[in-house]
Structure 1
């Protein structure tokens, strides 16, 4: 019998986790392929599940817990140089000056 080892946000994440489990010798089945298009262009969420056999459920959930712990992203600092903000401000200033010039023509 198959058990749900992971409830993915979308089909892509389900296949990533399934690949991780397969690489560690755990046979998987990804369900929810045909439900993804049910909502049209809006991405359907919560319909994709990674299933494993009963005997693989515990090791699969351990691997999933490690995957989730390692995938937590911390915000990167920009190094304090402020370049992205600086470039954006100069771009917006240039666009504003160009708009004023064009409006006065």
Structure 2
């Protein structure tokens, strides 16, 4: 079996697998038990849609069409994803400041 699609999460993998099955291509979603390895954080790269070797070219054509018809937010380019990026960077900046302050306070005492 070959990987026809690398999904960002389990739900998307099942959507693509269903799309392939609707076109007569048997597919398998892998990575069910690895998805929660990091708790609630989405573990990327673990959920893949597999198809039989002989179905791979047709499956890739269907997946390519699926990818091209996604709205910007679904592929990480829209304003929603930029807001999440800003939030994550802000959180990390504040966390870094707290750690530096904690280290300086411990070092000065």
TM-score past 0.5 threshold: yes
Distance 1:20 1:41 in 2: 26
Deviation, 1:53, is: 0.2
Larger fraction in helix: 2
- Secondary structure (helix, strand or coil) at the match of 2:33 reads helix
Question: For residues 57-72 of structure 1, what are the structure 2 equivalents within 5 Å?
Answer: 57-72=56-71
Does 2:24 correspond to 1:7?
A: no
Q: Please give the alpha-carbon distance, in whole angstroms, between the structure 2 residues aligned to 1:65 and 1:72.
A: 14
Question: 2:48 maps to what in 1?
Answer: 49
Gaps in structure 2 of 5+ consecutive residues: 79-109
Task: Tell me the TM-score normalised to structure 2 length.
Answer: 0.64
Deviations 1:46-100 (A, max 9, x none): 110000001100000000000001113387xxxxxxxxxxxxxxxxxxxxxxxxx
Q: Secondary structure at the match of 1:29?
A: strand
C-alpha RMSD of matched pairs (Å): 1.4
- CA deviation profile, 1:16-45 (whole Å, cap 9, x unmatched): 100000000000000000001100121211
Q: Which has the larger radius of gyration?
A: 1
Higher strand proportion: 1
